[in-house]
Amino acid sequence: MLYDSGKGRSGGRGKSHAMRAFGQIHIEAAQDRARRGFVYDLRAGGENSQPFYTDIAAFSMQVSTEVDRRASAALDGYSRYVTGVLQEAPRSRDEYGLELLTVGMAIRLYGELAASTPGWVIQLARELFRLRRRSSHLKPLADSLRAGIFHTFMRRKIGGHGTAAPTPVSFEYARLPRLIEWLHATGEFEQEWRRIENWRGYWRQLPTAEAEKWVALSIDLFDWFAREAEVVLGKYTAGVIGFLDGTYARRSWREDQIFCGRLPVEYHLCMVAAEVMNQGLYEDFHSRPRKVVLVPACMRGARADTCKAVTRGLDISCAGCDPECAVNRITRRMSREGIQVYMVPHSSGFSRWLERWQKDPSVGVAAVACMMNILAGGYEMRARSISSQCVPLDFPGCRKHWSDEPLATGVNEDRLVQIVISSR
């Protein structure tokens, strides 16, 4: 027997204890099953993700050096264009290099797909994306229709795990407007298409031959990045292809098809993005007297069903109901330093959270996020002039996108504390 079946007080305590134990066993079993098939895992079979942070620091420096060596003149001209013509606050040189890699990534991985998508499909997808933002009541319908469009016209073919075949660079440059429209219409590259549009604006000032040269270089740099990243970072994304060939291939009518259908190299670019953006914003983040930490609600996993978090408007705060919950641990550690921790239910609510802090120059925001939200989230906080730092989840596990069962995701808590508290 798992517990005393008697109806006395002690029997009740025994039953309660046994049921909690059974629940914990169920959670641990789910974690064991999921860990064998994580899409990415920064622990790579080790005890923690600390070796990843050593690897990514060294590799990001290698990437920045290579981009600067081969595209120095482009970065010089673009940085002057961004600050002088677009009137943006200056960013670090490495961040401009990251943008150039993003251009190459978009052309190589999505250029052909964008070019082959009918114009009316792109327009319809764009309108449906606007509709889902304007009306919460119509959002389910809009998402269902978007799912059908993605599956029929805009989804990468299963098995196409490589990059697209090369096309003449003059074609790639001429097709940039269509690529930008396509990225915008999906709703999954909301910040990326804006940065690519900025590069296109800069290139339009140049002679066509020179613009085409830089477009070709962005593709060449991305191809170089893809090869090198696989060597250094491939062990952290060993589950991506299995996920694409298995779970993802069995899915059809889902609104998150493009988001979940990313290739290993896209994860690798987000890994580098986290390091580059953190370096570029570290001093500014350090100067902010008040710090706020955002963590995704998926860190609760199955515990979300019994979570007693306190909700006040947009704010969702830990109530400390479960000593084993990662959100509780992080909240306790941060509260000792006077730092507030809030849960964000889903990435779709991220923008609403940021609105308040873009108006408060005293606040620095540290965000924990799934790897595939790092690049877009970093770009958005940059665009809103929010000084930030980001720490990726060690592995994904939210039921919405990755796991059939609610799985408590994890983060390198020591790394998070180091980034936030060492800046004080």
Q: What is the 3-state secondary structure (H, E, C) of the chain?
A: CCCCCCCCHHHHHHHHHHHHHHHHHHHHHHHHHHHCCCCCCCCCCCCCCHHHHHHHHHHHHHHHHHHHHHHHHHHHHHHHHHHHCCCCCCCCHHHHHHHHHHHHHHHHHHHHHHHHCCHHHHHHHHHHHHHHHHCCCCHHHHHHHHHHHHHHHHCCCCCCCCCCCCCCHHHHHHCHHHHHHHHHHHCCCCCHHHHHHHHHHHHCCCCHHHHHHHHHHHHHHHHHHHHHHHHHHHHHHCCHHHHHHHHHHHCCCCCCHHHHCCCHHHHHHHHHHHHHHHHHHHHHHHHCCEEEEEEEHHHHHHHHHCCCCEEECCEEECCCCCCCCHHHHHHHHHHCCCCEEEEECCHHHHHHHHHHHCCCCCEEEEEEECHHHHHHHHHHHHHCCCEEEEEECCECCCCCCCCCCCCCCECCHHHHHHHHHCCC
Please check the confidence at residue 1 and state whether its pLDDT lies above 80. no
pLDDT bucket at 347, cuts 50 / 70 / 90? low
Question: What is the value of pTM for the model shown?
Answer: 0.87
At residue 162, the pLDDT reads 55
At residue 348, the pLDDT reads 56
- Classify residue 54 as exposed, middle or buried by CB count within 10 Å of its CB (0-12, 13-18, 19+): exposed
pLDDT bucket at 27, cuts 50 / 70 / 90? very low
Q: Are 177 and 200 in contact (CB under 8 A)?
A: yes
Mean pLDDT score across all residues of the chain? 86
Please check the confidence at residue 24 and state whether its pLDDT lies above 50. no
pLDDT bucket at 45, cuts 50 / 70 / 90? confident
pLDDT tens per residue across span 357-382: 887 889 999 999 999 999 888 888 88
Q: Which residues contact 313 (CB under 8 A, 6 or more apart)?
A: none
CATH of the domain spanning 288-421, picked from 1.10.260, 3.30.750, 3.40.50, 1.10.3470: 3.40.50
pLDDT tens per residue across span 288-333: 999 999 998 888 877 778 898 888 877 889 999 988 898 999 999 9
Looking at per-residue pLDDT, the higher value among 73 and 352 belongs to 73
pLDDT tens per residue across span 57-106: 999 999 999 999 999 999 999 999 999 999 999 999 999 999 999 999 99
Torsion, Cα of 293, 296, 302, 306 (10° steps): 60
At residue 145, the pLDDT reads 94
Which of the residue ranges 189-198, 300-309, 341-350, 363-372 would you say has the lowest mean pLDDT?
341-350
Please check the confidence at residue 171 and state whether its pLDDT lies above 90. no
Which of the residue ranges 47-61, 301-315, 387-401 would you say has the lowest mean pLDDT?
301-315
d(C-alpha 226, C-alpha 266), whole Å: 9
% of the chain at pLDDT higher than 90 = 61
d(C-alpha 158, C-alpha 244), whole Å: 7
Domains in the chain: boundaries = 50-270, 288-421
Please check the confidence at residue 392 and state whether its pLDDT lies above 80. yes
Q: What is the mean pLDDT of residues 162-167?
A: 61
Which of the residue ranges 8-12, 47-51, 75-79, 215-219 would you say has the lowest mean pLDDT?
8-12
